[in-house]
Amino acid sequence: MITSIFNILLTIILFSISIFSVHAYTPGKWSPLDRNVMGFEQLGPASEIVKSSDGKVIYTAYYEYDNKGRLSMEKFLDSEGKPHGETRYSYEKDKLILEETFSSQGLQDKRVFKYSTQGDLKEIILTDADGKEVQRCKVVSMNREFIADGELKWAQPKDIEFFNIKKSSQSDPIWIQEITDEKKKQVATIKLHFDEGGKLIKRENIQMGSKRKSELKYDESGRLKEFNYYILNDTNWILQKIHYLEY
């Protein structure tokens, strides 16, 4: 099971990064709403508030759903509670076909989702506000809402990244995704830890000596209620931010 690609983030960069990239359905990244937009869960969280380790609000998100319980819109507020932008989702025949992100200046980018005649996701095309292609993801195989195998082509520079996932062992509920470049050199590794019921409980990112992880917590009903984000500093995991979900 899994998703795909990320950049090295220093702590000072972490809190200024666009919140849109956190929520976009993108190979190598993960969002608690992936299950909803890909049709495996209905009526996800109503809101999400993200705070730093010292309790300061980083951003807030509010979620809207269509009459089938699918995510239709995300509205974001910045640390001061001011509108920061939104993401809109469009569906056709129960499949996500378009994801558009808007800032206060208008359209920021959009992702188009293409499927095979059998209904399998085969391609995700990201374009900028002017319609110029930024990247193209070819999907080879899926495991539920996760992209298991595929390749990502960037328009500029013209780099290609490959990713595939495998289970660490038959007895160990850990899945490992390797990301490599055109020369098959390892770019990054993502480890996904699941509990006995199949819920994701920890996600680790390892890239060029940088290590990060998210730890997830669920309520009594099995709904994700919180996840904490850490960066490894020497031998110590330092808490960076906490995501709180409300239903």
Residue 3 located in a structural domain: no
> Cα(104)–Cα(140) distance, rounded to whole angstroms?
36
Instruction: Kindly tell me the sign of the dihedral angle through the C-alpha atoms of 194, 198, 201, 205.
Output: positive
pLDDT at 134: 95
* pTM metric for this prediction: 0.85
Residue 93 located in a structural domain: yes
Number of structural domains (the chain) is: 1
Task: Give the Å distances, CA to CA, from 14 to 22, 61, 173, 205, 229.
Answer: 11, 17, 29, 15, 11
156: containing domain: 11-246
pLDDT at 176 over 50: yes
pLDDT at 106 over 90: yes
What would the two tokens of residue 137 be?
A: 């993801």
Whole-number percent of the chain with pLDDT over 90? 68
pLDDT at 7: 31
Residue 214 located in a structural domain: yes
Residue 157 located in a structural domain: yes
- CATH number assigned to the domain comprising residue 172: 2.40.160
Mean pLDDT for the stretch of residues 75-89: 95
**What single DSSP character describes residue 103?**
E
Residue 74's pLDDT band (cuts 50, 70, 90): very high
Residue 1 located in a structural domain: no
DSSP E strand stretches across the chain: 47-52, 57-65, 71-77, 83-92, 95-103, 106-115, 121-128, 133-143, 146-154, 160-167, 174-180, 186-194, 200-207, 210-218, 224-233, 236-246
Residue 103 located in a structural domain: yes
